[in-house]
Structure 1
């Protein structure tokens, strides 16, 4: 399928691994010029080197919890490849988990600052140039947790519910400018974040990681009909489709890539 976005410019945050990395890969394969970003101390340089064979890709370190850093990120991307036509905000964390009564304000605020306010800051920086061009795509990463909360992850759930609501609001505000804003909501994808979750579960239960994954699916995610973790590229394919001209009438949608995990319609 021709996505008709060759030579567009994209910025993907949280892109040194997982869903962000695979999204950058798919965008490059579609002929998009791509800037990827992640915080310092990760795998950004290695990811740029890996993806560079596919097309033009640059890496810029940034912290989405810092407004000054986000401004510097967009300035650097503008200087190196141009103003982004496409923003995919994949930066996020599981954040504070545990019994609601035992998670303090610091845990809540850190989770919301990265997941929700990180999306606010990057979208606020991206939209003016898209508006000037008369074309833009913004994809924010939600989660099944945004509509189906789990009691030990309430800070994460609330942040992702906020993401879904934010995207819907932005879609109404900037759709008239031909800036389409949508959300992709995965469930239990094989990424470094869920790898850590499963390693911890395996240690706590005295089992190997594969058994930890099986028990998590059985006990915590019974709606996932395929009975496996998703793959990052399965989420990336949906994200890139929403960035394309093939999705030119999709705006304000929350696309679930979750193996049926969400129990309602």
Structure 2
């Protein structure tokens, strides 16, 4: 299926690994021009180098960074059609999961909202005028299953993502008549470096459970969360949903939430 993305310009945040990297790769395969932003590049992102890819190093804890990245995309490729707000997770200095709601300080709450909510708000604010100049476009916000299934071990993260999901609905109503579609993708547990890296969440759980990282990823967590598929979500599976929502082929889809979670969420 032709997703009609050839020549369209996209900004992808948190683009150096995991879901963001998979989104960048898929957009490039569909012929899009991509500005990928992250604090630093990775060998995996560097391997995608070509005339349709520009990496812009940026720290989205800096309130000026989102607008600067959007401006670079317009300068480099002449406009903007797609914004994927993927940057998120624990900001620098904050460790997840937590043991309790009581373990998060005010400063950690502020940092979590700065990275997971306000950076996306600033990117959207910078992107909308350029999307309107093109007659519309698509914004895809990466939320989380924790936005709808609250967890005391990720309470501040879940609250920030719930706010992002709320904003998606508001924006879809205000800017839909002007051609801008805004949607949410909510992943569950995804096989990303946050889980798999040395010292990552899988290692933390393995230490507590007296087992090894592979067992945590392949058995312990899927069983603990009662995942219908029995396995973690792969980054590419999330990226496929993101790119479909970014495509004009999803022209009547706005204000929607696409859940890609392996059956984590059980409620209607």
Task: Report how far residue 200 of structure 1 moved.
Answer: 1.4
How many Å separate the matches in 1 of 2:188 and 2:182?
A: 20
Match of 1:216 in 2: 221
How many Å separate the matches in 2 of 1:262 and 1:48?
A: 31
Task: Report how far residue 194 of structure 1 moved.
Answer: 2.2
> TM-score by structure 1 length?
0.93
Task: Report how far residue 45 of structure 1 moved.
Answer: 5.5
How many Å separate the matches in 2 of 1:209 and 1:92?
A: 23
Task: Report how far residue 83 of structure 1 moved.
Answer: 2.5
Query: Which SS does the other structure have where 1:140 is aligned?
Result: strand
Q: Which 10-residue stretch deviates more, 174-183 or 62-71?
A: 62-71
Question: CA-to-partner distance for each residue in 1:17-44, whole Å, 9 max, x for gaps?
Answer: 00000001110111101110001xx3x1
> TM-score by structure 2 length?
0.92
Change (3 A) 1:122 1:144: same
Q: Over aligned residue pairs, what C-alpha RMSD do you find?
A: 1.4
Match of 1:14 in 2: 14
Task: Report how far residue 98 of structure 1 moved.
Answer: 2.7
Task: Report how far residue 253 of structure 1 moved.
Answer: 0.3
Match of 1:35 in 2: 35
Gaps of 5+ in 1: none
How many Å separate the matches in 1 of 2:59 and 2:27?
A: 22
8 Å contact 1:23–1:237 — kept in the other structure?
yes
Query: Which SS does the other structure have where 1:51 is aligned?
Result: coil
Match of 1:69 in 2: 65
8 Å contact 2:80–2:134 — kept in the other structure?
no
Gaps of 5+ in 2: none
Counterpart selection for 1:79 from 75, 78, 81: 75
How many Å separate the matches in 2 of 1:3 and 1:102?
A: 45
Query: Which SS does the other structure have where 2:157 is aligned?
Result: helix
How many Å separate the matches in 2 of 1:76 and 1:129?
A: 12
Match of 2:203 in 1: 199
Match of 1:52 in 2: 49
Match of 1:3 in 2: 3
After the TM superposition, which segments of 4 or more aligned residues of structure 1 sit over 4 Å from their partners? none
Match of 2:266 in 1: 263
How many Å separate the matches in 1 of 2:149 and 2:46?
A: 38
How many Å separate the matches in 2 of 1:264 and 1:209?
A: 29
Task: Report how far residue 215 of structure 1 moved.
Answer: 1.5
